[in-house]
Structure 1
């Protein structure tokens, strides 16, 4: 089986195609023929070594976490999906390898693909939607009448957060780049501010929650935008931000792993059309190395970059 992998931590030049033997199918595992795999910034951060303290020391390591495809085999204890089912899911980051022809993963990391979504669209759901759910539903407690400010509301995580917040009855304001303001406004973000217009949103209304998807909003600034019982939700916990956040009980962290248990609920919302990912670029699996390099080093694109496998 071919996959994208690397033999040491580093930049894009460390990536290459390699042959890989899938692990034996465990009792709670599923094997999936990958039809599409979505690229997340987390994927190249892993390759750069951002999480190496939590990884084993063996190489090569596979790249990619989110994918969609067709179930080829299931373990004896798996009851949630069957052979032939179309599914989407994510991989434990310690066992990454979704940029591949096949993957083996725990059954609790997959859900049935909404029939309304293409494989490419479904592959874009897991990490962005799980992260947004953990931040907006679990941490920010989006509910009817609440107000949430999303810094970076047009990105993959941000747009998922907007859709989830609105679905749960919250009102959403936020920031975006100039080219995304119209689409964010159409998605229901009001008011919407340009990143450069910082004084307008720092000195404006107060919110029940502020969700910083980009790590560009200072913790102090985020806390200053809150109502007395509001929370600042962060998914970019650098050391300075953690230190600053430790002095406030209103500073909350959210991670994609916290949202894994909500994969089926995410699929249900996608079935209803309440959660729709945006595909920006589709590329052939054969062009994975150049596509990954452009995604990592090039300008930020509107929508997700997806690798498509031959069928």
Structure 2
């Protein structure tokens, strides 16, 4: 049996349950991973709360968790890239989440070989934030070396990785943090640091070619005051747009809902002569594999805030949701 943390209804931390599930069936292009560690992402508590049920219509019971690192224990008959015993990490598929468990089955295409220099806890912290950062800076708002980006929440999980990816791409980086985290984000490569507790970032930052916002709608709207004409402001939090609905194959009957949700940022974009994108990262094991060398040579580094034992998964989720973490919160299922 597969021990796991799951929900039977949407709600707060109190809806988390622990139980056992039969092993998931293995398809011909699937791998079964014995999970050593999983990380917590904002996506996890947004799914738990029901905030994303229009975009991600799950059924119950639902095992939570999107990131993991572990060891392959079984492969489908058509799998070619992995064998039993391989150490791997993955941001699993949207429709097959469930890494807050002892094992998971996911598609070979969602998996990459674990960086050899990282522990499972470190590797588990990376897939979602690394893919999000790289996709935003190369797809949602494709930028050239020498251009500039404002990354909100630079000390957070996505922000700290996005700063590193931006610097690797040759971008000039501005970021917002609490003052106590100034040295931390400068060490990652941020050039301009705004203490959001004492300064309004729109009074300090100007001429940006892109913005990455994961804070929320009010912050997102203010961000349009910082950009050049033609810039792209990307949200990974509020304001899903019609393009998101279309890309996820949602019914046209729902499109007016997404038009309403993105109305304010779209209006702000028109006023600023800029572009607005809502970005929902997509699983991409091949891209993760291609970025692994940057982790192995130290160009990109994971930053862990705290590691919780498996039995404290609910507490790990609540701690990450509190906003106190600097870097990633990780859940350890097995010893390294």
Q: Please confirm whether the aligned pair reaches a TM-score higher than 0.5, indicating the same fold.
A: yes
Deviation at residue 265 of structure 1 after TM alignment: 2.2
Question: What are the equivalent positions in structure 2 for 1:68-217 lying under 5 Å apart?
Answer: 68-199=69-200, 201-215=202-216
CA distance, structure 1, for counterparts of residue 327 and residue 204 of structure 2: 30
CA distance, structure 2, for counterparts of residue 18 and residue 121 of structure 1: 26
Question: Among 270, 282, 285, which residue is 2:307 paired with?
Answer: 282
Q: After superposition, give the CA deviation of every residue in 1:68-118 in whole Å (9 maximum; x if it has no partner).
A: 000011111111221111000022233321011111011111100010111
Question: Could you say what secondary structure the match of 2:282 adopts?
Answer: helix
Q: Is 1:193–1:201's contact at 8 Å kept on the other side of the alignment?
A: no
Instruction: Say which is worse superposed, 131-140 or 232-241, in terms of deviation.
Output: 232-241
- Corresponding residue for 2:254? none
The answer to whether 1:301 aligns with 2:322 is: no
The answer to whether 1:29 aligns with 2:30 is: yes
The answer to whether 1:14 aligns with 2:20 is: no
Q: Is 1:142–1:165's contact at 8 Å kept on the other side of the alignment?
A: no
Question: Could you say what secondary structure the match of 1:252 adopts?
Answer: strand
- Corresponding residue for 1:254? 279
Question: Could you say what secondary structure the match of 2:27 adopts?
Answer: coil
Residues 68, 200 of structure 1: CA spacing in aligned structure 2 closer, same or farther, 3 A cutoff? closer
Residues 197, 140 of structure 1: CA spacing in aligned structure 2 closer, same or farther, 3 A cutoff? farther
Question: Could you say what secondary structure the match of 1:189 adopts?
Answer: coil
Question: Could you say what secondary structure the match of 2:262 adopts?
Answer: helix
The answer to whether 1:272 aligns with 2:297 is: yes
CA distance, structure 1, for counterparts of residue 328 and residue 281 of structure 2: 17
CA distance, structure 2, for counterparts of residue 217 and residue 163 of structure 1: 26
Deviation at residue 54 of structure 1 after TM alignment: 4.6
CA distance, structure 1, for counterparts of residue 328 and residue 24 of structure 2: 29
CA distance, structure 2, for counterparts of residue 185 and residue 204 of structure 1: 16
Question: Among 235, 255, 263, which residue is 1:243 paired with?
Answer: 263
- Corresponding residue for 2:67? 66
Residues 252, 289 of structure 1: CA spacing in aligned structure 2 closer, same or farther, 3 A cutoff? closer
Residues 257, 174 of structure 1: CA spacing in aligned structure 2 closer, same or farther, 3 A cutoff? same
Deviation at residue 35 of structure 1 after TM alignment: 0.5
CA distance, structure 2, for counterparts of residue 267 and residue 241 of structure 1: 36
Residue ranges of structure 1 left out of the alignment (5+ in a row): none
CA distance, structure 1, for counterparts of residue 47 and residue 205 of structure 2: 38
Instruction: Say which is worse superposed, 120-129 or 139-148, in terms of deviation.
Output: 139-148
Deviation at residue 37 of structure 1 after TM alignment: 0.6
Instruction: Say which is worse superposed, 57-66 or 10-19, in terms of deviation.
Output: 57-66
Residues 81, 187 of structure 1: CA spacing in aligned structure 2 closer, same or farther, 3 A cutoff? same
CA distance, structure 1, for counterparts of residue 313 and residue 128 of structure 2: 19
- Corresponding residue for 1:2? 3
Deviation at residue 199 of structure 1 after TM alignment: 3.8
Relative to the length of structure 1, the TM-score reads 0.92
Residues 242, 299 of structure 1: CA spacing in aligned structure 2 closer, same or farther, 3 A cutoff? closer
Residues 102, 195 of structure 1: CA spacing in aligned structure 2 closer, same or farther, 3 A cutoff? same
Between the two proteins, the alignment pairs up a number of residues equal to: 310
Deviation at residue 59 of structure 1 after TM alignment: 2.1
CA distance, structure 2, for counterparts of residue 197 and residue 206 of structure 1: 21
